[in-house]
């Protein structure tokens, strides 16, 4: 029986060409769990063999819903946007070297400093994509569970496929073209304030600063779920670029290894001059406008499933906030009305208890005595009675108590009358 389950899974894998999931709780499910792409074991009374052979395990079968529609969907979404950003920043960074080769006859001259090439993916742009892959989410958990249509994005591979990879490559080439030629054409044959021409080293550091800052700006548009960790990491990586650049191009670093840190003294000619900063800010401003225009057109003309459900989520949040505001705006009179409603509920509960004591409440309701006694009790318990002075010890309260006693005595008398009538044998 064990191998039959595994063969069924293998048959589905070969015939349907899909990702399979097997779930079981006993030793007879181990082969099936191992044969599937994803195996899940349920820890129960049949031992731990299935749990030990599985990829994931939980205690109850109902947890499978959250595993698929929340954690599984978030995992696919985060991995997709991580690869998108990671490939984009490396394409933008690398193709600038190709454009520079056009002007240096494709020699071994590098457009970036050696230390920039070494620490770009290790220090300057390492933490933001990691934080993005760990904490980002397009919609909240409640929306993910309520709308299973979002799960189809992973089943149909819409967030990352060959087409999206090609689009990322095209974007990387266009961004690298914009970086390089915006810097080269605006700073070529220009002079600094002291009359010295802008040389190759100043061009290098200016281009490096643009690449790091623009990729940080790109991360701001990729992130959908902002937390304190995202802000801290982006701010820390931006500050780290300026700190490490100042250390790499200092005289102390040059004295340690002159062959590696060979751009000593270039920082004052870049960060202390207006022309490089004007070029950097102009590049950032133009890129920001292009990015905003592209996002606006995509949202208006080519809205995807995620955007639609994000709009639904925002509407649900607004309705929930409105309901909470209405509850907070409740007046003391509304609360008093709620208290009187609760007191009426208590009276009904006591009426049910009296019926259990064989007091024949049906006859009392038919005769109208219970209604009058209940009305007296309500007048005593209601906030209006307390506001009119019917508090214990007051004359109004004493009168109310007398009326209640009279109603009770009348009820007892009528009860005896009804019992005597019920005891007369009926003749037909």
Report the chain (428 residues): mean pLDDT per 10 consecutive residues.
83 87 89 91 84 89 90 92 93 91 84 87 90 90 88 87 93 92 79 63 86 91 90 92 86 75 75 84 92 88 82 84 74 52 45 45 51 46 50 65 74 62 42
Contact 136, 81 (CB under 8 A): yes
Tokens 């281009």 identify what position? 207
Could you give the 3-state DSSP secondary structure of residue 399?
helix
For residues 19 and 12, give the distance between their C-alpha atoms in angstroms, rounded to a whole number: 9
Spatial CB neighbours of 180, under 8 Å, sequence gap ≥ 6: 96, 99, 100, 111, 207
Contact 198, 109 (CB under 8 A): no
The H or E element that residue 269 is part of is: helix 267-271
pLDDT score recorded for residue 177: 93
pLDDT score recorded for residue 415: 63
User: Under CATH, what is the fold of the domain 2-59?
Assistant: Rossmann fold (3.40.50)
pLDDT score recorded for residue 113: 85
For residues 64 and 145, give the distance between their C-alpha atoms in angstroms, rounded to a whole number: 12
DSSP label of 122: I
Tokens 């102390």 identify what position? 252
All CATH 3.40.50.1000 domain ranges of the chain, comma separated, are: 2-59
DSSP label of 120: I
pTM for the model: 0.70
Phi and psi (nearest 5°) for 58?
A: -150, 175
pLDDT score recorded for residue 355: 44
For residues 134 and 141, give the distance between their C-alpha atoms in angstroms, rounded to a whole number: 15
Give the strand order in the sheet containing 38-42.
21-24, 38-42, 56-58
């Amino acid at each position: 029986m064990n191998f039959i389950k595994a063969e069924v899974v293998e048959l589905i894998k070969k015939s349907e060409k899909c990702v399979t999931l097997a779930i079981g709780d006993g030793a007879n499910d181990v082969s099936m769990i191992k044969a599937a792409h994803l195996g899940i074991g349920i820890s129960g009374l049949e031992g731990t063999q299935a749990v030990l052979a599985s990829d994931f395990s939980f205690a109850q079968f109902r947890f499978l819903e959250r595993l698929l529609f929340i954690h599984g969907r978030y995992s696919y979404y985060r991995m997709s946007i991580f690869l998108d950003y990671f490939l984009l920043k490396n394409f933008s960074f690398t193709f600038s070297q190709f454009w520079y080769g056009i002007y240096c006859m494709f020699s071994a001259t590098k457009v970036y400093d050696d230390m920039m090439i070494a620490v770009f993916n290790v220090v300057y742009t390492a933490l933001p994509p990691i934080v993005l892959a760990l904490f980002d989410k397009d919609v909240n958990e409640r929306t993910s569970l309520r709308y299973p249509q979002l799960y189809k994005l992973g089943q149909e591979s819409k967030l990352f496929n060959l087409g999206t990879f090609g689009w990322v490559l095209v974007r990387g080439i266009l961004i690298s073209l914009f970086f390089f030629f915006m810097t080269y054409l605006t700073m070529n044959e220009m002079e600094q304030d002291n009359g010295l021409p802008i040389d190759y080293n100043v061009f290098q550091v200016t281009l490096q600063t643009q690449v790091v800052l623009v990729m940080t700006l790109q991360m701001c548009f990729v992130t959908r779920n902002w937390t304190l960790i995202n802000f801290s990491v982006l701010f820390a990586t931006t500050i780290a670029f300026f700190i490490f650049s100042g250390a790499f191009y200092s005289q102390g670093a040059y004295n340690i290894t002159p062959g590696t840190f060979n751009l000593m003294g270039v920082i004052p000619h870049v960060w202390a001059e207006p022309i490089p900063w004007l070029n950097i800010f102009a590049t950032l401003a133009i890129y920001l406008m292009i990015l905003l225009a592209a996002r606006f057109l995509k949202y208006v003309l080519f809205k995807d499933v995620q955007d639609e459900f994000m709009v639904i989520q925002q509407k649900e949040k607004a309705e929930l906030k409105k309901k909470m505001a209405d509850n907070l705006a409740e007046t003391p009179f509304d609360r008093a009305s709620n208290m009187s409603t609760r007191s009426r509920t208590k009276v009904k509960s006591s009426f049910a208890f009296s019926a259990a004591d064989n007091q024949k409440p049906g006859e009392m309701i038919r005769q109208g005595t219970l209604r009058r006694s209940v009305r007296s009790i309500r007048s005593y318990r209601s906030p209006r009675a307390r506001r009119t002075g019917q508090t214990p010890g007051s004359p109004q309260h004493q009168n109310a108590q007398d009326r209640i006693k009279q109603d009770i005595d009348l009820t007892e008398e009528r009860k005896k009358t009804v019992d005597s009538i019920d005891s007369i044998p009926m003749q037909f």
